[in-house]
Amino acid sequence: MGTGQAGAALGLHGGCGTLDRSLMSEAEWAESRSHIAQALRAGWAVLTAGGAALDAVQATVLVLEDSPHFNAGHGAALTEAGTHELDASIMDGSTLAAGAVAGVTRVRNPVLAARAVLESGKAVLLIGPAADEFARASGLAMVKPDYFTTQRRIDALASLRQRALDGSTARASEAEKHGTVGAVARDRHGHLAASTSTGGFNNKPVGRVGDSPIIGAGTYARDGVCAVSCTGQGEVFIRTAAAHDVMARMLYGRESLEQASRTLVFETLQSHGIGAGMIVLGAEGDPLAPFNTLGMYRGWIGTDGRMFVATHQEVHAMGAVS
């Protein structure tokens, strides 16, 4: 990912808990890449029409929430009780306005609930049944909790429960444990935005909230500096204020986007022994996607309008987006 002049740009991640290549068929890998491309096209359509970065990240995350390949919305992780509790946030870099929900169980698309909280101006974060009720009252689509369930998550929960019994939880793969989706965008006016959505981690305690709905931990955007969406073990991202730290390193420490994001992923976060990744975008240039795991679902469209999609180390060039 090189740098270019300021202009519209868009990036996403689908979580750093990418599966070992052997655990899915090539057809399944191809489908996951096609869903990443579909999400990018949705966000890019907003930007090329002159729309706001905030609308672009929402449109991007919405597609990822509807895909069973990612741990957000349909396909979300299961708690230790076999239930779903979903979190999401969204932030406008031009005003620092933000909205988030945590522990929702019935709103079909948590990112839309987070946006509704932002637009209300009454709160930044709503939780649990009250957040679901707010979403319902806002006219958002509601579903039964089993809408979010997929066989892959049922199998992952069973695997982690067995690991807990035989003492091998520490050897579980990132794919068994975690997963998150997120997006960053810069519009034609130079405004930045970020959004993150997740089902948390498989076999998580009921009521646990990670970094994804916490502004400054899993999500942050500030015009003129950067937009950040994180993925990995949320507790460490909260304790290190990871997303905000990227911004602070750039604004106060005068580090480049690459320096700041790589320091967080390969030093700060990795020093805690966790898999970590993020999608970041500066005031100019193209998105960056540092990660320290086997792979990270990711994709971006740079200022030249060309799309790239990846799951592991190799990157697939998808050509110019019309």
Q: C-alpha distances in angstroms, 40 versus 11, 178, 187, 260, 299? A: 7, 22, 14, 25, 7
Question: How much is the pLDDT for 16?
Answer: 83
Average pLDDT for runs of 10 along the chain of length 322? 66 82 73 93 98 98 95 94 97 98 98 98 98 98 96 84 69 62 98 97 94 98 98 96 98 98 97 95 97 93 96 89 80
* CA dihedral over 227, 292, 86, 238, signed as positive or negative: negative
- Does residue 206 lie within any of the structural domains? yes
25: containing domain? 9-320
CB atoms within 10 A of CB 45: 14
pTM, entire model = 0.93
* CA dihedral over 28, 277, 54, 309, signed as positive or negative: negative
| Domain CATH for 150 | 3.60.20.30
- Does residue 233 lie within any of the structural domains? yes
- Does residue 159 lie within any of the structural domains? yes
Question: How much is the pLDDT for 157?
Answer: 84
Tell me how far apart the alpha carbons of residues 255 and 79 are, in angstroms, rounded to a whole number.
39
Yes or no: say if 269 and 243 are a contact pair by the CB < 8 Å rule: no
Yes or no: say if 136 and 107 are a contact pair by the CB < 8 Å rule: yes
What pLDDT digit, counting tens, does each position of 94-153 carry?
999 999 999 999 999 999 999 999 999 999 999 999 999 999 999 999 999 999 999 888
The one catalytic residue among 180, 196, 219, 311: 180
- Does residue 291 lie within any of the structural domains? yes
CB atoms within 10 A of CB 151: 8
Which residue is listed with tokens 């950067």?
Answer: 226
Would you call 3 a catalytic residue per the annotation? no
- Does residue 3 lie within any of the structural domains? no
- Does residue 31 lie within any of the structural domains? yes
Tell me how far apart the alpha carbons of residues 65 and 59 are, in angstroms, rounded to a whole number.
10
Tell me how far apart the alpha carbons of residues 68 and 283 are, in angstroms, rounded to a whole number.
32
Q: Which helix (H) or strand (E) holds 279?
A: strand 276-282
* CA dihedral over 315, 228, 79, 275, signed as positive or negative: positive
Tell me how far apart the alpha carbons of residues 315 and 322 are, in angstroms, rounded to a whole number.
20
- Does residue 187 lie within any of the structural domains? yes
Question: How much is the pLDDT for 162?
Answer: 78
- Does residue 1 lie within any of the structural domains? no
Question: How much is the pLDDT for 173?
Answer: 56
What pLDDT digit, counting tens, does each position of 253-282 carry?
999 999 999 999 999 999 999 999 999 999
Specify the number of domains making up the chain: 1
Which residue is listed with tokens 């070992």?
Answer: 20
